Structure 1
Amino acid sequence: MTGPTEHVHIHAPLLLGVIGDPIAHSKSPAMHNIALEAAGLPGMYVPLHVKPEHLAEAVTGARALGFSGFNVTIPHKVEIMTLLDELDESAISCGAVNTVVIRDGITTGYNTDGIGYVRSLKEETGELNGKKVVVLGAGGAARGIVYALLKEHVSDVVIVNRTRERADELISILTDKAEGTSLSSASQDELESVLSSADILINTTSIGMHPDLDATPVDAALIPEGIVVSDLIYNPLETRLLREAKARGCTVVGGLGMFIYQGAYAFEYWTGVEAPVSLMHSAVLEALNHEHNPL
């Protein structure tokens, strides 16, 4: 991986962070602080709790405080786009930003969710070319992922959302990127028929995330045996959806790989230094383990 900042010369300590609401649960600080240390870069990555009504002030503040960049998480990934000076093609195409680089006072938004996710999915399952994919949810995370899937030339993407209009809106944004992939939407009621011919099911919603561990976005009986089932959630490492899919002989892919790789790409954009992926992975696992088994 190489970010667009390959030849950055760093002198002052780097200020980095993640903005979201809520934010206390984020494992990004654990991951990025170990990466900075391993790369020998002085600096700090901090969690920043920003309410929606203070988003514009937060962007101005980060610039004023000399931040080199920050990550953006729920619920700010779409709204932040109007507040940045420039947008990378990845951000424009999927209508969401999860990484902001600040250089010479200029803020530029990127989306590393999609490329991070696809890299993780391919590591677990192989090539995606020609696959039929069902995506649950049509929010900021779904945008990044569908955009990246289109680059992999999957045959079909069906977006299933509670409000179908939201799914249709996402399709209209991405249609010109489809390049031979069939893009369509479906309602929850159509989930069974849509899933019957799916190769891959991806949950981009927060249903099943800690602490709501008993929730699942799909009735287990609807999941075809033996397909690939992927959940973006990484806390818990195995959601109820993945547990039930595994019981049906499915190949399951948790959200941890995507989380690590989106962070690795962001780290490289900020620093120009290759991300220590395996160390970042270990740091997140340790943080998750500590959270569930505090001393």
Structure 2
Amino acid sequence: MRKALFFGLTTLDIQYFVDEFPAGNVKVKTKPPEFLVGGPATNAAVAYSTLNGKASLVTAVGSHAFQSIFKSDLAACNVKCIDLLENVQAQPVLASVISSSNGERTIFTHHPNPISQAVNERKLFDQLQPDVLMLDGFYPEIAAKLGCEAQKRQIPVVFDGGSWKSHLPELLPYVNYAICSNDFYPPACQQAEEIFHFLDQYSIACQAITRGGDPILVNDRGQRAQVAVPQVDVVDTLGAGDFFHGAFCYYLLTKNNYHQALQKSAEFASQTCLFKGTRDWLNKQE
């Protein structure tokens, strides 16, 4: 069983479903919300584990009223969680999610606090023996160290570029595969070609830009291509991009082909959009 190490954010997503987004100054009555464990690295780890891979998640949960929700969810998803804030009182990262009947969603959230706890990256890699490392760009004080250690060990590093963050130039030199969303805009970049040229500065050979249901734009060592995304009747898109990244890590190791990994990941992520929330799709893949 191939092993993957996921490092980054864990959140508690409080998701409400509405028929349509309301106008301002309107109180909307809905059914009780869903409480879901989320975050880019976390959902990616869940997807990887579901595909029969061994997923380890290094993140910051901490001690608080919601701690049991995080632990029980990750245990149920068969994800090994290493909590850098174990037994430390901490403020969880919360996300309020409003999902409409057409599958679109709006999210209100906040950035996590920096982590002051030290991490021995060599000991961590020796312990977990990962075949791939995925970083979501959060907690840069640790992410760059893990990326550097992976590079020394010739372990591929996958980067989830959900949005631009000012500290990313410290992290990108260690990235082998940059899978970015359509909301990833580095400084002075507005078009896909500009983004590809920006990532080229960091010698990232394999780059892609996901665009929801539109074809994925690919830059494979200077060769441009597109990967089709299956068209499905979308129920909810929450977490779909995260699941894409987790599936990509799995298929990268099992297919050993960049384009096939993108194609299989697009198929996987599309299937998760057929269900509400971020866990109903588990064990229901076609």
Common topology (TM > 0.5): no
Q: TM-score, normalised by structure 2?
A: 0.33
Say which structure is richer in strand: 2
Say which structure is richer in helix: 1
